[in-house]
Every structure is written in structure tokens, then in C-alpha cells.
Amino acid sequence: MELLREKDHVFLDFDGPVCDVFARLPASEVADRLQRLIEPEVIASSDPFDVLRFAASCGPNAAHVVERQLTRFEGEAVALISPAPGIAEVLRDWRAQGFTVTVVSNNSVDAIRSFLGLHDLVEFVRGISARTTSDPALLKPQPALLDAAVTALGTSPVQCVMVGDSAADILAARAAGVTSIALAKTPAKRRALGALHPDALVTDVADLRLAP
Ligand SMILES: [Mg+2]
């Protein structure tokens, strides 16, 4: 991955590259349970973050209640899963090559910290820039989490690269002035993310290693 060599800091999305957060506690079930908090309003989505965005449009109280419960569900969800195959090796490689890694994620800081601790990945991660409030404007695809990561490192966006598996990662990177690498493991993802013209696209986490 030549593009990485020009950078100092990797911003790594959590859900997808590091683990599949809702593999065991399905996202659709979480979305369904969150919707019950804001009944009688119901939206047709199986994405918990759509429910959070909808709750935020109802007002700060609804958003707060949904966000707190989403944080609990995320904590439950990450206790049931393992790291994505190959990611530990990639993190080890990046550290050996002198990169810093910041997890930049719409998931809650607590869930991410707990998962990294459970799987001995803390030592590979310099920082976590992730959800701490119920305000969707602070989540990807907005650039706020990346901006905060740049500031925390005392660097500039051009020294950073964002690795993520969704459109929100590519769009947030562009808005923050950060180079983007799309991780697209399926043909559908390759089409969807390729259409957004990330700076690079890989189909396997192992492709993110620098050492052969
Ligand atoms: Mg993701």
C-alpha cells in the first residue's frame, strides 16, 4: 500500500475494519429496540444510526435517550465478537513501520475501548475519536471526529489517511482534507465505494500491510 507510506497517521474506522460490531446482536434488532423508545414515531430502517438521527430530529431528549441505549447495546454487542481476521497483524505492521493509529468511529468510545481491551489491541492504538454525544452532526459523514483526531495528534490533515468501509468514511475524509482508503470486501461495496472515488480501494485488510 504505497499511499500509506507518504503518511504518518492512520485513522481507522471501527465497525468493519476492526470487527463486525453487530454480528451477534443484529443491527436490525438494535434498531427495532431503539425505535420502541421513541414510539409512536416509527421509521422504516434496520440501521441503529438512522434511528439515532431520527430521534435527534425529534429533539435533544429523544436523542439522548436513544444514544444512551445504543451505547448499552454496543457494549453488549462487542462483548460477543472477535477482531476481524488479519486486523491484529495489520496493526502490528503499522506500529512497526512507525505509524500512529487513531480509531475514528461513530460507535461509542466506551464500546471501542472495551473491545480493544478485551482483545489486547490497546497497545496498537494511540487514540480513539468516537461518539460521545447524541448529536449526529458530530458523526461521520461530517468531519468533526477526524478534525478532533488531527488536533489531538498536533498534526495536519495531509499527514493522515482514513481507512473505512462505508460511504460516510470517504465523505468525512474528503470534508476533513484527509486522504481516504476504502476497504471494500464485497463486489457491492466495491461498486458503492468506488463510485465515491476514494484515493485508494482495497478488498482485504491484509492489503493494508506495508511489510510483504
Ligand atoms: Mg465501518
Give residue-wise pLDDT tens across range 57-71.
999 999 999 999 999
Both 127 and 185 in one domain: the answer is yes
164 Cα to the center of ligand 1, angstroms: 6
127 strand-pairing partners: 102
This prediction has a pTM of 0.96
User: Which backbone phi and psi does 57 adopt, to 5 degrees?
Assistant: -70, -20
pLDDT of residue 60: 93
Q: Is 149 exposed, middle or buried (0-12, 13-18, 19+ CB in 10 A)?
A: buried
163 Cα to the center of ligand 1, angstroms: 9
Both 140 and 91 in one domain: the answer is yes
Q: Considering 63, 78, 93, which residue would you say is the last residue of a domain?
A: 78
Both 102 and 166 in one domain: the answer is yes
37 Cα to the center of ligand 1, angstroms: 25
Both 141 and 43 in one domain: the answer is no
pLDDT band at 2 (very low <50, low <70, confident <90, very high): confident
Both 40 and 145 in one domain: the answer is no
Both 69 and 117 in one domain: the answer is no
Both 66 and 128 in one domain: the answer is no
Both 124 and 67 in one domain: the answer is no
Both 89 and 182 in one domain: the answer is yes
155 Cα to the center of ligand 1, angstroms: 24
184 Cα to the center of ligand 1, angstroms: 10
Number of residues in the chain:
212
Q: What is the domain count for the chain?
A: 2
What 3-state DSSP class applies to 129? strand
Instruction: Give the residue carrying C-alpha cell 466495491.
Output: 190
Both 66 and 109 in one domain: the answer is no
Both 31 and 129 in one domain: the answer is no
Both 94 and 55 in one domain: the answer is no
pLDDT digits (tens, 9 = 90+) for 68-109: 999 999 999 999 999 999 999 999 999 999 999 999 999 999
Q: Considering 78, 100, 119, which residue would you say is the last residue of a domain?
A: 78
14 Cα to the center of ligand 1, angstroms: 6
Could you list the residue range(s) of the whole structural domain that residue 42 is in? 27-78
